[in-house]
Structure 1
Amino acid sequence: MTKIALVTGGNKGIGFETVRQLAQQNIKVFLGARNETEGKNAEETLRTESLDVTFIKLDISSSDDIENTRNFIEKQFGKLDILINNAAVFLDSAWFGNNTETVPLKTLRDTFDINYFGTVELTQALLPLLKKSDAGRIVNISSVSGSFGVHLDQSHWLYQLKPYAYSASKTALNQFTVFLANALGDSKIKVNAVNPGWVQTSIGSDQAPLTPQEGAKSGVAMALIDENGPSGTFSQDGEALPW
């Protein structure tokens, strides 16, 4: 039976390459994007590669979009096998420095609305469909910037980079990963967080060393783990990262 996947923020960057790499594994992939034009263009591009990709309008800060997505997948397939929570925003003024004393509350709220609250709401809405899968997989695309361990390590390259809104939202996402994995411990669903690395995207900038294709690999690999694979972990390229 064909596996069904949903990737949020699938119209560009890591999300787009994640959609491509999953579809190359003969998986039916829904490409979620809030921008309809960009989403349809991304769908068209991947379909020219003979990949089974369908755009679905999904702004994860919209409860209506979330409900429509759930209803559409349920009506069409009755289940969901893979959910990759990739959609995210970076609204801090800069990566460098520490803006904790000055970051506007609106920046915090708008960041959490997408990176955390929207992700949680979507995941909760889709859990009934994931529970109908023989091997449900949830992959949260997090960031090493959300790691307490890294930000306490003065020798780490990221130590001087403390954009508070983005980092705090990813820390919250990491805890959601741990808690949800625990809640679903008796099920066949596995929940993990991955760090894609420093990637050439609108968030990572063109100075980053990794291409979107390389950045997508960790999430795709975690989405394809078998029943012996881990749950409740935070990693990059199979290597554990500090919480």
Structure 2
Amino acid sequence: MKKLKAFTKRMRDKDEAAVAVVADIIGSVLPYGGNVIAFALKKGLAIARSRSVAILSEELPAKKPTPEQAEQLAPMVAIHARMAMEGEADESLRLLARVIAGQLEQGELLPAEFTSYARILSGMRQVEIVALGEFYRCWQDAEREATQLASLEERGNAVELSANKAMAERLIPRVVADHGELKALFSSLMRTGLLITTPTASGGDRYRPASLFHRLNQLASLEVVEGNPSDPA
């Protein structure tokens, strides 16, 4: 635990040093502005850190980590705090915290895997994360409905068709205005590697979850991802 605290302190010191440099630069251009900017930056950093700490405290188990786990947690917590300081959506930060919690629950912390999910979730809009949660719920519902089909191929096609249809019904017009906007939304999600497209006979696309999507769900439970679908910001 001491290593984790020491690491986070070093990160905080680096942030404060960066603030001082920025303040000096601004102060040289705008006389008397450096101190004001430095104060605003420090306040913003403190708020962001508090946001990260609050989310991690809510999502991580209360069990004290082992010394080895603390050493592995240090860079993961630092990345989480950094993303909070960069203004990432709460939904992204919460999913990342759940990735850590999921790894702890499975008994193996994997900083490299966490970092890959941090890259995926970095910059994602709330509407995209809400859409992922809706897509997962639609896929689960479709799989339950298709269990009676004997053929594996029939079942796969039925699940894909049903899930995509339900997804469109749930997201239009609450989240996006029309099918064109829906396609644009899922095209942006395609770049994350979480989804795969299947061309249709009519020339369109249907979406299905990639293995990366399933792994993220194992760790972070996408079913509980919620948000205000009327607010795509």
Judging by fraction of residues, say which structure has more helix. Answer: 2
Judging by fraction of residues, say which structure has more strand. Answer: 1
Bigger-Rg structure (1/2): 2
TM-score interval, smaller chain: under 0.3
